[in-house]
């Protein structure tokens, strides 16, 4: 195998961290994850929408806490000892942004081939397709790959009305 073919192979693979919101499995690029924390005290922000209702103190920094379940139209699970806060870093308008997100359960780090990414079917109305980069099928079922930059950019620009059915 040549160095060039190894590089192409690496570019064709995607390393992801999987977690669940409710019963839905979700994955984000491992490079976007800074750390996984035990639940933290949340300071509520008056007037904030349902998607980012508060902030958390992460090592002395004030970090907005977002609920991807609201953005994606996925009901969260019952509170239990498996819940975590995932601290992410995404680029918004050319600048890095640190945003924490709720996770009902954090599962694993996995690597998949980009060839296994599927587009969101047009008939899928349960999820907000504009916020999903794709999905892939695993032994656990379908795993969604949210477009964190698009979700967080929408949040930063204006209050958005996300689906809140079944919440």
- What pLDDT digit, counting tens, does each position of 47-56 carry? 777 788 799 9
- Dist CA 47 CA 50 (whole Å): 9
Is residue 136 within 8 Å of 112, Cβ to Cβ? yes
Helix (H) / strand (E) element for 68: namely helix 68-72
Mean pLDDT is highest, among 59-68, 72-81, 154-163, for 59-68
pLDDT at 148: 94
- What pLDDT digit, counting tens, does each position of 87-128 carry? 999 999 899 999 999 999 999 999 999 999 998 887 765 667
Q: Is the pLDDT of residue 4 over 60?
A: no
Is residue 85 within 8 Å of 100, Cβ to Cβ? yes
């Amino acid at each position: 195998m040549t160095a060039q073919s190894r590089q192409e192979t690496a570019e064709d693979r995607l390393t992801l961290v999987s977690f669940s919101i409710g019963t839905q499995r979700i994955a984000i690029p491992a490079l976007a994850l800074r750390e996984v924390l035990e639940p933290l005290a949340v300071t509520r922000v008056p007037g904030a929408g349902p998607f980012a209702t508060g902030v958390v103190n992460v090592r002395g920094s004030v970090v907005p806490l977002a609920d991807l379940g609201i953005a994606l139209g996925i009901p969260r699970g019952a509170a239990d000892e498996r819940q975590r806060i995932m601290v992410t870093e995404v680029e918004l308008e050319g600048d890095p942004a640190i945003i924490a997100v709720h996770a009902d359960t954090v599962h694993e780090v996995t690597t998949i081939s980009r060839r296994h990414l599927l587009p969101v079917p047009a008939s899928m109305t349960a999820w907000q397709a504009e916020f999903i980069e794709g999905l892939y099928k695993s032994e656990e079922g379908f795993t969604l790959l949210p477009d964190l930059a698009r979700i967080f950019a929408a949040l930063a620009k204006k209050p958005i009305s996300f689906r809140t059915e079944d919440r």
